[in-house]
Amino acid sequence: MARPTVLERLERLPRRGLTVLALQGISTLVPGGWTNLRSAEDLIKEVIGDDDPALIARIRSRADLLSRARAEGYGRALSLYDAVNRSQHAAGGVRLLANVSAGLPLLKRLADLTPPGDTLQAVDLSLKVAAELLAFTQVNGLPGDSFGAFGAALADYAGEARVRMAALICFDALLPLGDQALQRLDALLGAAGQKDLQRLPSYRQMAGLIPGRGDQAHLSFLRRGVDQWLGWAGGFTAELALTGQSAVRAMESTLGPWQGRLDQFAVFLDAFTDTYAHTGVQAVARRLVERAAAEV
């Protein structure tokens, strides 16, 4: 069976569920918010500012052609986001819940989820940053170690990409590691070893795309990627006044009350949501349509 195109993946995104509720919650902290865009036609109309059916069809055709081309990196970018999601669910040790739309009494029952250690959490965060960097390079046809270009691009993140970064900072740094997480990250990664890396399923799936040979070289790459990301992330966190408590309040507006610890909430979100892949599909689809529109 042929792999679905990027725009087909967009059209298969869920309309509701825990992932959508989580993104709706965290997006209240981000100016401009987030729209759960699931229609390829609507995306094309938004990008080109036109609703001509013939033009939309040509752009869709060109986008699908680019998506299927082996030389292009759109499919590989999506595979990186998928690897992050699979790792999250494996680490959580529970199966994804589907079709939950409102009211979560299960939150109380899941408050005993056991968080990973701080070092492993830091390595997991660094892999997510690496996935973001590598997806950026794949979509833009750049070498995998284009740290400077990635750092510069972060300032232009908007829409679903900006909300994904807010979710990353809140769910994978502030909630599990505390409000000083970004300041602690370098020291935590400095204490990480190859065994920590090997414990994460996403590393085994991403290793072939990470520049360098062997675990030690990959750890070095992860630290360089985080170093590039941290400067921007610190400014972003200060700009939006993000804290663990502000993230919980935002999430409670859509998910319902949480009575456990913040790090347990982070485990819950990892185990039961696909925020990274959901917004990743939307962001890759947008970049693909922008290119297709420019080439038609």
Query: What's the predicted TM-score (pTM) here?
Result: 0.89
pLDDT of residue 63: 98
Rounded average pLDDT over 259-279? 88
Question: Which structural domain, as residue segments, surrounds residue 222?
Answer: 6-295
| Per-residue pLDDT reduced to its tens digit, 186-225 | 999 999 988 888 888 888 888 888 999 899 999 999 999 9
Mention every residue, 6+ apart, whose C-beta is less than 8 A from residue 183.
none
- Rounded Cα distance between 100 and 56, Å, is 34
- pLDDT band of residue 15 (cuts 50, 70, 90) is very high
Residue 198 identity (one-letter amino acid)? Q
Tell me if 7 sits within 8 A of 41, measured CB to CB. no
- Rounded Cα distance between 44 and 26, Å, is 26
- pLDDT band of residue 84 (cuts 50, 70, 90) is confident
| Per-residue pLDDT reduced to its tens digit, 95-121 | 333 333 333 444 444 545 556 689 989
Tell me, yes or no, whether 187 lies in a domain.
yes
Tell me, yes or no, whether 252 lies in a domain.
yes
pLDDT of residue 135: 95
pLDDT of residue 113: 53
Tell me, yes or no, whether 108 lies in a domain.
yes
pLDDT of residue 132: 96
Tell me, yes or no, whether 1 lies in a domain.
no
How many domains is the chain built from? 1
Tell me, yes or no, whether 141 lies in a domain.
yes
pLDDT of residue 99: 31
> Any idea which of 80-94, 114-128, 177-191 has the lowest mean pLDDT?
80-94
- Rounded Cα distance between 211 and 217, Å, is 8
Tell me, yes or no, whether 241 lies in a domain.
yes
pLDDT of residue 114: 56
Tell me if 22 sits within 8 A of 168, measured CB to CB. no
Residue 128 identity (one-letter amino acid)? K
- Rounded Cα distance between 245 and 250, Å, is 9
Tell me if 242 sits within 8 A of 169, measured CB to CB. yes
- pLDDT band of residue 91 (cuts 50, 70, 90) is low
Residue 262 identity (one-letter amino acid)? L
Q: Which residue has the tokens 């989580």?
A: 22
pLDDT of residue 136: 95
Tell me, yes or no, whether 190 lies in a domain.
yes
pLDDT of residue 216: 92
Q: What's the chain's average pLDDT?
A: 88
- Rounded Cα distance between 29 and 250, Å, is 7
